[in-house]
Structure 1
Amino acid sequence: MRMSQPEYPQQPYQPYGQQPYGYPQREADGATTALVLGILGLVLCQFIAPFAWAKGKGVLNEIDASNGALGGRGSAQAGYIMGIIGTIFLVLGILAGIVWVIFVVFMLSSSSTSTY
């Protein structure tokens, strides 16, 4: 009878820069900040939204450049998307304000020039 060598489980392939299986990834600096800015920019104050957009994009670029060594992609991406949506709301609000001011000025100028 021939004895076989014990089989050891193979290690999964790890691309360069990624943490081995079982080790938690370090979260990228600014991922949570982008998420919080995105939430605040969407819900509370739309003037914060462009900062969330820029911060989220920067953190996503940092995570992509780390080749998987950094985590927090979900938080950064959520802040990035909420920043875009909040910025759209900001632009629409500014445009609505401009249209409202033009309407009010037009109504005031037309009512003051009318004769009875």
Structure 2
Amino acid sequence: MSVTDRKSCPEIPRAPTRTAEEHGEAARHSRIRLVVIPNQPIGQPVEHPNATAVLFLGAASVLCCGVLGPVAWALGRRALDQIEESGGAYGGRTQVLVGYVLGVAGTLFMIIFAVLFLFILLGGNA
């Protein structure tokens, strides 16, 4: 049997097609409504790549090394901006926010301790 021999092949029944009006009528009567939320990614958001680093740097700036405070502050601000611009694609906002606040606090502690050190160094009496 050749490809061009159509008489020997049985005819495959096709489903009836709807017109645009019938399709619109069926859609109006259906009870399922799809809600489309624009610019929302599907699935779980991915944690921002710097979220853990910002948290670590912020905690280290408060606990032991105040010089890391401005680094955590700058990285945290950049990461927060990127999370906001991503429209939900990036997660880890809480981690970044905590690291950012700890970085600001570590920077302030570093400045306060530096000023106290200078007063003690220059004054001689404490």
**TM-score scaled to structure 2, two decimals?**
0.70
| Alignment partners' CA distance in 2, 1:39 and 1:86 | 8
> Alignment partner for residue 36 of structure 1, among 51, 56, 60?
56
Q: Which runs of 4+ in 1 moved over 3 A?
A: none
Q: What's the C-alpha RMSD, in Å, of the aligned pairs?
A: 1.8
Q: Report sequence identity in percent.
A: 29
Residue identity opposite 2:119 in structure 1: V
Unmatched segments (≥5 aa) in structure 1: 108-116
1:38-90 deviations in Å (ceiling 9; x for gaps): 11111121111111111101101111111221111111111111000010000
Aligned match of 1:75: 95
| Alignment partners' CA distance in 2, 1:71 and 1:14 | 18
Aligned match of 1:15: 38
Aligned match of 2:84: 64
Residue identity opposite 1:98 in structure 2: L
Q: What's the offset of the Cα at 1:100?
A: 0.4
Q: What's the offset of the Cα at 1:15?
A: 3.5
The structure richer in helix per residue is: 1
> Alignment partner for residue 54 of structure 1, among 62, 70, 74?
74
**Which is further off, 62-71 or 93-102?**
62-71
The aligned length equals 98
Residue identity opposite 2:49 in structure 1: D
| Alignment partners' CA distance in 1, 2:65 and 2:73 | 14
Residue identity opposite 2:115 in structure 1: L
Larger radius of gyration: 2
Q: Helix, strand or coil: the match of 1:46?
A: coil
